[in-house]
Amino acid sequence: MRTRTLGPYEVGAVGYGAMPLSIEGRPDEARAVATVHAALDAGVTLIDTADSYYAPGGEPGHNELLVARALASYGGATDHVLVATKGGRGRTDDGGWTVKGDPGHLRRAAEGSLKRLGVEAIGLYQLHKPDPDVPFAESLGALRELAEEGKVRTVGISNADTGRIREAEAVLGDLLVSVQNRYSPAVRDGEPELRLCAELGLAYLPWSPLGGISRSALDGPGGPEARSAFHTVAEARGVSPQQVALAWLLALSPTLIPIPGASRPESIRDSAGAADLVLTGEELALLP
């Protein structure tokens, strides 16, 4: 798999978002572990998780524990795999999401993630979402302290606009290596943040990167006009429209690393194939 730069790391150009393995509708343990192993077999070296990826009513950290078990049971080397986790969110019993970015909570969250992942330091620790009730600089300061103590190697932020990105750069300096925002064929309002990350040399990790791509060109929000081009290119190439969508994303910026989710081995294998699918100028011109 081709690689891209994420701070001090070189990772596969397509990562893996492990959230589907732990939230509502999650697969059983055997299939979940097989999915992580399939990602590793396909050359994925960036796995994204969070302490808040668990089903309502469950225990925080389900996904982190699952990823740790899958890595431990893998038959090959895993020391080159970057596990990125996040803190600052939680779940409610009715399925909602909470936001908590105060320094005390973030410290406890990071220390819990350390134990669950079984590592001496978290390779990439990300603030899951700015807390409107906590000054952003205070949340960032907590992450900086964790890095200074050796508990975190690099820092990222998520769900951040350009102002937040610039503020994070000012507070964190070289510790800041990534921004994880939503971006996909269906959601493209993050272009200013994408451009700023390229300008600053920050990795841009789009979550839900396959939004708007359905198996059928006629299904999903936006109507056939929004997706028919992805399906047309896919049919001509003999690949899935999902692969074309990920290859399109990769062509947008040299610092972009998509993290598609998957709950089946065949799905992540297909997504990983996009890392080596280079679209032509003519094909890119067809895509909306």
Residue extents of the structural domains in the chain: 3-213+253-264
Mean pLDDT of 155-184: 98
Cross-strand bridge partners of residue 182: 207
Tell me: pLDDT of 223 over 80. Answer: no
Q: Is 209 exposed, middle or buried (0-12, 13-18, 19+ CB in 10 A)?
A: buried
Mean pLDDT of 124-144: 98
Catalytic (active site) residue 53: yes
Has domain 3-213+253-264 been given CATH number 3.30.1130.10? no
Query: Which pLDDT value is given to residue 94?
Result: 93
- DSSP H helical ranges for 118-240: 136-148, 162-172, 191-200, 223-237
- From 9, 16, 53, 125, active-site residue: 53
Query: Which pLDDT value is given to residue 228?
Result: 73
Tally DSSP H helices, then E strands, for the chain: 10, 11
Mean pLDDT of 234-241: 96
Could you tell me the two tokens for 251? 């062509």
Query: Which pLDDT value is given to residue 229?
Result: 92
Tell me: pLDDT of 219 over 60. Answer: no
CA distance 242 to 231: 9
Query: Which pLDDT value is given to residue 218?
Result: 40
Query: Which pLDDT value is given to residue 151?
Result: 98
Mean of the per-residue pLDDT values of the chain: 94
Cross-strand bridge partners of residue 155: 125, 176
Mean pLDDT of 176-201: 96
Query: Which pLDDT value is given to residue 231?
Result: 92
Least confident range of 51-55, 127-131, 190-194, 213-217: 213-217
